[in-house]
């Protein structure tokens, strides 16, 4: 299978083993870039070489792990519904494209991936799949006021959890962010930014946003 990288993932070099998604922590109130993963077993710079060595996806992932000092992964499982996405050791996801691990590139690279793979923007595609792709391509909304990777997730407010909805135009990933507020008495109603990534069936991607007032006394 032709490899391509997902979402993205954002990698934390200091983790004990494997890449970690950064799209899980909730903040407090207050052109594609791919990393080449050379095969250590292959000599580099051979004048007789006619081109880059063709590597299997498993070999690329193992070389990538070795490069980062994470040892050799034993279990590498493809995610059938997302081309190029792999579950590694059951603890992390890696997106491969063109024989490389995807690391960044933003919406342009994400768009190219969707068009190249013709990923079906409909079930059984899952919310976690799209979050991984966004992370892999670092295709989060362009935010300056707060951490664009710090969308609300895993907290007590189910209403603000990431959601993936489908309609006749494609899919819509919805993320929420706490808006920083000035110091003062605690208030039950606080501003929250809702960002929606529209994933059109024709491969077009675009973020849109709106500010809402959220009652923190509610789930």
Contact in structure between 176 and 160 (CB atoms under 8 Å): yes
**Average pLDDT of the chain?**
81
Neighbours of 47 (CB within 10 A): 4
Q: Residue 154 pLDDT > 70, yes or no?
A: yes
16-34 pLDDT, tens digit per residue, is 456 654 333 333 333 333 3
Mean pLDDT of 81-103: 95
119-141 pLDDT, tens digit per residue, is 999 999 999 999 999 999 999 99
At residue 17, the pLDDT reads 57
Residue 196 forms beta bridges with which residues?
174, 208
Nearest to 167 by CA among 198, 193, 137, 212: 198
At residue 187, the pLDDT reads 84
Q: Which one-letter DSSP state was computed for residue 76?
A: E
Helices (H), 102-168: 106-117, 127-137
| In the chain, where the domains are located | 34-215
155-213 pLDDT, tens digit per residue, is 899 999 999 999 999 999 999 999 998 776 778 999 999 999 999 988 899 999 999 99
């Amino acid at each position: 299978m032709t490899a391509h990288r997902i979402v993205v993932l954002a990698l934390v070099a200091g983790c004990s083993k494997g890449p970690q998604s950064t799209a899980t922590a909730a903040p407090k109130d207050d052109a594609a870039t791919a990393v080449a993963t050379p095969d250590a077993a292959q000599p580099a710079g051979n004048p007789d070489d006619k081109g880059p060595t063709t590597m299997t996806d498993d070999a690329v992932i193992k070389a990538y792990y070795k490069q980062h000092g994470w040892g050799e992964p034993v279990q590498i499982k493809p995610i059938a519904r997302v081309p190029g996405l792999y579950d590694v050791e059951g603890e992390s996801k890696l997106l491969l494209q063109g024989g490389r691990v995807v690391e960044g590139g933003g919406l342009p690279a994400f768009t190219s991936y969707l068009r190249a793979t013709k990923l079906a923007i409909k079930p059984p595609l899952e919310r976690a799949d799209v979050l991984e792709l966004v992370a892999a391509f670092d295709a989060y909304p362009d935010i300056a006021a707060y951490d664009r990777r710090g969308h609300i997730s895993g907290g007590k407010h189910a209403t603000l959890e990431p959601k993936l909805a489908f309609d006749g135009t494609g899919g819509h990933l919805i993320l929420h962010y706490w808006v920083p507020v000035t110091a003062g008495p605690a208030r039950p109603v606080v501003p929250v930014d809702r960002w929606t990534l529209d994933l059109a069936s024709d491969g077009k991607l675009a973020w849109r946003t709106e500010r809402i007032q959220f009652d923190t006394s509610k789930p």
